[in-house]
C-alpha cells in the first residue's frame, strides 16, 4: 500500500494511496449531513463483501483462499454484504430508546469479547470507484485486531500485489507489505492520534471498535424496521454521529483517535446505518464520509460486518527491531 506523507500542523499524516486525492492539499475536511437519506433498499446492498466462510483463526487469512470475499463466493464485485431481507415497515419508533441502544453498541461488543470481522472501504471521486476489502478478527476487550486488506489489482501494481497485513492496537496501526521503500520483513507503525482522520479511513479499513465507539455520538436516530441478515434477525437504525460528542464519551482507548478526527474534519457529523442483533451487538455498520477536494468531493463508504462472537483472536505486535524507521517513498 503506497502511503503519501503530508505535513499538517507540524506533524506528518500518512494517507493510503486510494485516498491520496483527499489529502492533496495536506489536510482533509468532511462535508456535514452526508448520505443520511439514501434509499433503504439501495443502501442495503454493497459491493465487495459476501458471507464469511469457515473460521478465521484469529484474523489470519485461511490457506488457499484467494481473491476478495465476493470473488470467492461467486457474487462478483456487485454482490451484497451478506444477505438482508424482509424489511419491515417502521411500525414502532424507539426514539430516544433507539438512540440509546445505538450508543450502547460498543458496550455490547465489549460484553461479547471478540468477533470475526470483514470490512469494505469504497472511495468514489468523479466517475472512479475503488474498493478495498479486509478480513480478520478483533478483540474488543484489548482493543486489538488483525486484518488482511486486499487492494484492487490495478491499484496495487506489479510490485505491490501482496495483501496488506494490518494490526490495530490502542493508539497505533501497524502495516506490513506496506509499499515502496519498506523492506518485506518490516512493519510500519503509525500513531493514529496524529492522523487528521484518527484512522477512520486512512488505513483502508475502519478499526471495528472505533467504528462502534463513534456511535456513542449518535443523534437523530431513525428506526427502519426489522430485517433478516445472514440468517438472523436484526434491527436497522439510521442516523448521524457527532464526532466531538463521541470523543468526549468514548472509552479512554478510543478517545485520542476520535478527538483527532473531530479536530481534523471540517464538520462533526458522520452519517451511518447500523444493524443490531437481539443482544444489541453490531452485525453490520456503514459509515459515510464525504471529503472536500478542491472544487469536488470524495465519498468514502466504510463498512464493517461482525460475526462469530467469542471466536479467539490472536494479535501479536511486532518487536521494535521489526519496525521500519527509514524514509517511506511514494
Per-residue pLDDT tens digits of the chain, which is 330 residues long: 333 333 333 222 333 444 443 333 233 443 333 333 333 333 344 433 333 333 333 333 332 333 333 333 332 333 344 455 554 433 333 456 689 999 999 999 999 999 999 999 998 777 778 899 999 999 999 999 999 999 876 655 544 568 899 999 998 999 998 766 788 889 999 998 888 888 888 889 999 999 999 999 998 899 999 999 999 999 999 999 998 999 999 988 888 888 888 876 767 889 999 999 999 999 999 999 877 666 677 788 999 999 999 999 999 999 999 999 876 655
Q: Are 45 and 122 in contact (CB under 8 A)?
A: no
Output the CA–CA distances (angstroms, integers) from residue 155 to 106, 108, 128, 160, 162, in the order listed.
33, 37, 12, 9, 12
Q: Which residue has the cell 486484518?
A: 147
Q: Are 274 and 215 in contact (CB under 8 A)?
A: yes
The enclosing domain of 48 has a CATH number of: 2.50.20.20
Buried b (16+ CB within 10 A) or exposed e, 101-116: bbbbbbebbeebbbbb
Residue 325 lies in a domain: no
Res 161: pLDDT = 61
Residue 327 lies in a domain: no
Residue 106 lies in a domain: yes
Q: How many domains does the chain have?
A: 1
Residue 294 lies in a domain: yes
Res 316: pLDDT = 95
**C-alpha dihedral, 305 to 241 to 123 to 315, nearest 10°:** -40
Residue 322 lies in a domain: no
Domain interval for residue 212? 3-57+65-82+93-317
Q: Are 36 and 267 in contact (CB under 8 A)?
A: no
Residue 127 lies in a domain: yes
Residue 36 lies in a domain: yes
Determine the Cα–Cα distance for residues 116 and 99; give it in Å rounded to an integer. Answer: 25
Determine the Cα–Cα distance for residues 180 and 174; give it in Å rounded to an integer. Answer: 16
Residue 149 lies in a domain: yes
Res 143: pLDDT = 93
Bridge-partner residues for 146, per DSSP? Answer: 137, 167
Determine the Cα–Cα distance for residues 317 and 244; give it in Å rounded to an integer. Answer: 30
Amino acid at each position: 500500500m503506497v502511503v503519501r506523507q503530508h505535513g499538517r500542523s507540524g506533524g506528518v499524516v500518512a494517507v493510503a494511496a486510494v485516498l491520496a486525492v483527499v489529502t492533496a492539499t495536506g489536510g482533509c475536511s468532511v462535508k456535514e449531513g452526508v448520505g443520511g437519506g439514501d434509499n433503504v433498499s439501495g443502501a442495503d446492498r454493497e459491493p465487495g463483501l459476501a458471507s464469511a466462510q469457515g473460521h478465521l483463526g484469529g484474523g489470519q487469512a485461511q490457506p488457499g483462499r484467494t481473491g476478495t470475499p465476493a470473488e470467492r463466493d461467486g457474487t462478483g464485485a456487485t454482490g451484497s454484504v451478506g444477505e438482508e431481507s424482509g424489511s419491515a415497515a417502521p411500525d414502532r419508533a424507539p426514539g430516544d430508546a433507539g438512540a440509546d441502544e445505538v450508543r450502547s453498541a460498543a458496550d455490547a461488543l465489549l460484553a461479547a469479547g471478540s468477533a470475526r470481522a470483514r470490512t469494505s472501504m469504497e472511495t468514489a471521486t468523479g466517475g472512479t470507484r475503488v474498493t478495498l476489502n479486509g478480513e480478520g478478527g478483533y478483540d474488543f476487550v484489548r482493543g486489538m485486531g488483525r486484518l488482511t486488506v486486499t487492494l484492487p489489482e490495478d491499484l496495487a501494481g506489479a510490485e505491490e500485489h501482496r495483501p496488506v497485513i494490518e494490526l490495530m492496537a490502542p493508539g497505533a496501526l501497524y502495516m506490513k507489505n506496506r509499499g515502496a521503500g519498506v523492506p518485506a520483513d518490516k512493519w510500519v507503525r503509525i500513531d493514529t492520534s496524529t492522523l487528521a482522520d484518527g484512522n477512520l479511513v486512512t488505513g483502508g479499513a475502519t478499526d471495528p471498535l472505533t467504528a462502534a465507539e463513534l456511535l456513542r455520538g449518535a443523534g437523530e436516530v431513525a428506526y427502519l424496521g426489522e430485517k433478516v441478515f445472514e440468517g438472523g434477525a436484526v434491527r436497522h437504525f439510521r442516523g448521524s454521529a457527532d464526532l466531538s460528542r463521541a470523543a468526549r464519551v468514548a472509552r479512554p482507548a478510543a478517545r485520542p483517535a476520535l478527538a483527532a478526527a473531530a479536530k481534523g474534519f471540517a464538520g462533526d457529523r458522520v452519517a451511518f446505518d447500523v444493524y443490531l442483533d437481539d443482544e444489541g451487538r453490531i452485525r453490520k455498520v456503514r459509515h459515510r464520509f464525504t471529503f472536500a477536494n478542491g472544487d469536488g468531493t470524495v465519498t468514502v463508504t466504510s463498512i464493517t460486518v461482525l460475526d462469530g462472537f467469542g471466536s479467539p483472536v490472536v494479535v501479536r505486535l511486532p518487536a521494535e527491531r521489526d519496525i521500519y524507521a527509514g524514509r517511506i517513498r511514494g
